[in-house]
Amino acid sequence: MAIIECVPNISEGVRGDVVAGIAAALTAVPGLRVLDVQSDATHNRSVLTLAGDAAAFRQGIPLLFERSLAVIDLRTQRGEHPRLGAVDVVPFIPIDGVTMADCVALAKEIASDVASKFALPVFLYEDAASSPARKNLEDIRRGEFEGLAEKMRKPEWAPDFGPAAPHASAGASVIGARMPLIAYNINLATDRLDVAKKIATAIRMSSGGLRFVKAMGLALEDRPVVQVSMNLTNYEKTPIFRVFDLVQREAARYGVQVLESEIVGLVPQAALVQAAEYYLQLEGFSGRQVLENRLRDA
């Protein structure tokens, strides 16, 4: 069965009952599972982690918009996290039995649907973006809700779907498709912050490193240890093991060893199987050989 993950970010993180009401409505959609809800009051933002197939999202995401637009008004909403819309961003993520192209198609279909249903401008982003200038969420969101009306007057910021001006209370939404993000940190057996920063610079894409790595060096607050803190944005093309090996190699350059690494939050099974295949030099291995996968598909 096809499994798609979807991680909508909505601009409400203070009123717990409002967020719980939205999550409960989604739970009632057949085939849609609400895996996680994280609210941050300071950011005034909630992140919902959903899973299901395309049919579940065709029903669930318009419902998410309906419920969110009824209770979130950006004209009065305040929070530390930048936001453009009441439903700020909706990424679809291929997990199993589904391709990125499938998720792009689904994102476009749902974007078109919610744009017309709610008279809401929608921008496509990441793998669903209609041009390279719209790939990055940060570029689309720059100026935020408050600057949106002016930004949209420029021809290059016409929305991909919906009206040419912002929704009065809900702004605009960003919908798209992307690979799963892996939050991955490597701790070094040293307190030398300069080493962590140099390694971060060496391995991240923005300064010449691996294509799908974002990284920074920081000092842990509770231990005399520094960390290379990373987001891996495409584990298929930039696998965890290659990141680990490269960090280990760069650390050795400064006489420093890797103390440990950690995965924060969820990780697709394939990203770990990939590491096992690499280090064990496994040839001809298929995900179909994982007993749990066979059980699930039986």
Closest CA to 124 of 95, 153, 103, 149: 103
| Residues labelled catalytic | 81
Between residue 227 and residue 256, which ones bind a copy of itself under the rule CB under 8 A? 240-241, 244
295 sits near a copy of itself (criterion: CB under 8 A): yes
Q: Using CB under 8 A, which of 159, 171, 176, 180 touches a copy of itself? A: 180
Q: How far is the CB of 281 from a copy of itself (least distance, A)?
A: 5
Q: Is 94 exposed, middle or buried (0-12, 13-18, 19+ CB in 10 A)?
A: buried
Number of neighbouring beta carbons within 10 Å of residue 59: 14
Q: Interface with a copy of itself includes 284 (CB under 8 A)?
A: yes
Do 228 and 215 form a contact (C-beta atoms < 8 A)? Answer: yes
Nearer to a copy of itself, 208 or 295 (CB): 295
Q: Which of 3, 77, 131, 252 binds a copy of itself (CB under 8 A)?
A: 3
Interacting residues of 180 by C-beta distance below 8 A, sequence separation 6+: 5, 93, 95, 235, 266, 267, 268, 271
Q: Say whether residue 291 binds a copy of itself (CB under 8 A).
A: yes
- Asked whether the CA dihedral 103, 108, 112, 115 is positive or negative, the reply is positive
Number of residues that bind a copy of itself (CB under 8 A): 44
CB 88 within 8 A of CB 110: no
* Piece of 83-91, 150-158, 166-174, 259-267 that binds a copy of itself (CB under 8 A): 259-267
**Nearer to a copy of itself (CB atom), residue 5 or residue 88:** 5
258 binds a copy of itself per the rule CB under 8 A = yes
Task: Assess contact for 124 and 89: CB atoms under 8 A.
Answer: no
Interaction site with a copy of itself (CB under 8 A): 3, 5, 33-36, 51, 95-96, 180, 240-241, 244, 258-263, 265-269, 272-273, 275-276, 279-285, 289-296, 298
